[in-house]
């Protein structure tokens, strides 16, 4: 018989248990979240209140800024024309090293990400196994409680039946009333 891997099931149970725990914490965190929302709203209002004045300033400064940029443009273009070939040569020389560095960083990031996912998956599986054991224990306690109650009720019913049987046995046949059978 092949053994089944229950880790995915335990991981799902662990994720559900973590979600339930997070939901249980929400009421306690609500005041903090409300305060943050209020602070954020206040900051947004403050920034928006200054917006009309900022727009007026930008409108006033814009023509002068545009004139200044137009005056500087020919010199900037000349400078770029002279620097661009050297920059391209430098970039061409550095490109293989840059590609290797980026590739190594991407691989390292992917490995760290995979390791993190693997660790989190294992944590969730362990949490799920604990939650499943807790659920089984709580279920067993509930079954035990119900079983005890049913056993007590069965004992009481048996005692009552014995008492009725004893009363019937003690009553002479002539005094017994005939009752029609109940269906």
d(CA 54, CA 61): 11
Report CA 1 to chain centroid distance, whole Å. 36
Report CA 107 to chain centroid distance, whole Å. 27
Q: What is the pLDDT of residue 165?
A: 80
**What pTM does this model have?**
0.47
Q: Over the stretch 47-79, which tens digit does the pLDDT of each residue have?
A: 889 888 889 999 999 999 999 999 999 999 999
In 13-27, which positions are buried (b, 16+ CB within 10 angstroms) versus exposed (e)? bbbebeeeeeeeeee
Q: What is the pLDDT of residue 27?
A: 87
Residue 22 · residue 141 · CB < 8 Å: no
Length of the chain: 183
Q: What is the pLDDT of residue 164?
A: 81
Q: Over the stretch 76-120, which tens digit does the pLDDT of each residue have?
A: 999 989 988 898 899 899 999 999 999 999 999 999 999 999 999
Residue 147 · residue 25 · CB < 8 Å: no
Query: How many CB atoms within 10 Å of residue 142?
Result: 10
Predicted confidence band of residue 137 (pLDDT cuts 50, 70, 90): confident
Helix (H/G/I), strand (E/B), else coil: 6 = coil
């Amino acid at each position: 018989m092949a053994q089944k891997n229950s880790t995915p099931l335990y991981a799902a149970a662990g994720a559900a248990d973590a979600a339930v725990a997070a939901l249980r914490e929400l009421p306690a965190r609500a005041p903090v979240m409300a305060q943050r929302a209020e602070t954020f709203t206040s900051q947004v209002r403050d920034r928006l209140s200054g917006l009309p004045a900022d727009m007026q300033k930008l409108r006033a400064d814009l023509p002068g800024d545009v004139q200044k940029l137009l005056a500087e443009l020919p010199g900037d273009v000349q400078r770029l024309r002279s620097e661009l070939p050297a920059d391209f040569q430098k970039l061409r020389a550095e490109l293989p090293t840059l590609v290797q560095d980026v590739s190594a960083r991407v691989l390292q990031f992917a490995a760290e990400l995979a390791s993190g996912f693997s660790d989190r998956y294992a944590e969730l599986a362990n949490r799920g196994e604990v939650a499943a054991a807790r659920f089984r224990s709580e279920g067993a306690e509930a079954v035990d409680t119900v079983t005890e109650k049913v056993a007590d009720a069965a004992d009481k019913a048996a005692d009552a039946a014995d008492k009725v049987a004893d009363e019937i046995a003690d009553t002479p046949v002539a005094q017994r009333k005939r009752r029609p059978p109940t269906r």
